[in-house]
Amino acid sequence: MNGKIYGYARVSTREQNEARQIKALLGFGVEQKNIVVEKQSGKDFARPLYQKLIRKLKAEDTLVVTSLDRLGRNYSQILDQWRKITKSIQAAVVVLDMPLLDTRQGKDLTGILIADIVLQLLSYVAQIERENTRKRQREGIFAAQSRGVHFGPQRMELPENFPALADLWHQGGVSSRQAALSLGISYQTFLRRAKEWEPAQ
């Protein structure tokens, strides 16, 4: 292919820096000026620099990524981007850690067919793995809850005089705002906890 070669690197805000990906892209032969680096979560795939790069791609250009998950985070996203680049734009894709995922053979039908089959298989496997991970997480949470483990924010410790003021509030002897002020907590917190409180008989 005679077009330009672009590289795309992405790291999440919590991830390691992008140096390893850039080194791999430079090693492949992508010029520094043609490497786009994005620091953003790929969860919603609303990545402005990636989208700008895709709009810039033309037929005969090549997009190089270090791994398949740079294109998307799930089966449908990856396939959608792959088809957009290789079919709609008619550019090539090279995935450095998967040598079979290289469509630079251009008009070589066998090469394109193999790449498409491998991509669909890998994307499917990746999706299944993510679903299994979510399933294990749900099972782990359920098991922990059955052992009495509490998830979510810790409930605030209430002042020692809360029971007396809650009882007084239930009897109509004090307003929620007055009680909250005396306790040094918000009146919403007082109301919520006072409603849960069993008043003294």
What would the two tokens of residue 70 be? Answer: 């740079």
Question: Residue 189 and residue 179: Cα distance in Å, rounded?
Answer: 11
For the beta carbon of residue 168, count every other beta carbon within 10 angstroms. 16
pLDDT tens over the chain, length 201 residues: 679 999 999 887 655 678 889 999 999 999 999 999 998 754 555 789 999 999 999 998 999 999 888 888 777 788 889 889 988 999 999 999 988 888 886 556 777 777 778 778 877 877 787 788 888 888 888 787 777 776 666 667 778 888 888 888 888 888 888 888 888 888 888 888 888 877 665
Q: What are the structural domain ranges in the chain?
A: 5-129, 162-196
Tally: H helices and E strands in the chain: 7, 4
Question: Residue 37 and residue 190: Cα distance in Å, rounded?
Answer: 49
Q: SS3 letters for 138-181?
A: HHHHHHHHHCCCCCCCCCCCCCCCHHHHHHHHHCCCCCHHHHHH
**3-state SS class at 101:** coil
pLDDT (0 to 100) of residue 152: 60
Kind of pairing, strands 35-39 and 62-65?
unpaired
Q: Does domain 5-129 have CATH number 3.50.50.60?
A: no
CA-wise closest residue to 53 among 26, 21, 89, 14: 89
Active site residue 12: yes
